[in-house]
Amino acid sequence: MEVVVEFEYAAEADDELTINVGDIITDVVRSCDGWYEGKLNGKRGLFPDNFVKVCLYKRFAFWRDKGKHFICGNQFFSHKL
């Protein structure tokens, strides 16, 4: 499963991911209560499940004007690089 980050989170332990709004985390599985485990930028780690939104539909991505824009389900997200 894939998720898109809605709120920033700074890792507090070596096994956690630092996530930023608009990041797409892949290969996500439920870890323990309140946490997911997934892969971001080549690193696998834990992150809070209430900081992200599950993408139920295939995402469409494109880049324009140095911005990163994508569709997740029926919502449009934008995140400046």
Q: Where are the domains of the chain?
A: 2-80
pTM over 0.95: no
pLDDT tens track for 18-74? 999 989 999 999 988 899 999 999 999 999 999 998 876 554 444 333 445 555 544
What is the CB neighbour count within 10 angstroms for residue 2? 18
Q: Match 């439920």 to its residue by tokens.
A: 30
Lay out the sheet containing 67-72: strands in order across. 60-64, 67-72, 75-80
pLDDT tens track for 4-24? 899 999 999 999 999 999 899
**Fold of the domain spanning 2-80:** SH3 type barrels. (2.30.30)
Q: What is the DSSP string of 21-80?
A: TT-EEEEEEE-STTEEEEEETTEEEEEEGGGEEEE-S--EEEEETTEEEEEETTEEEEEE
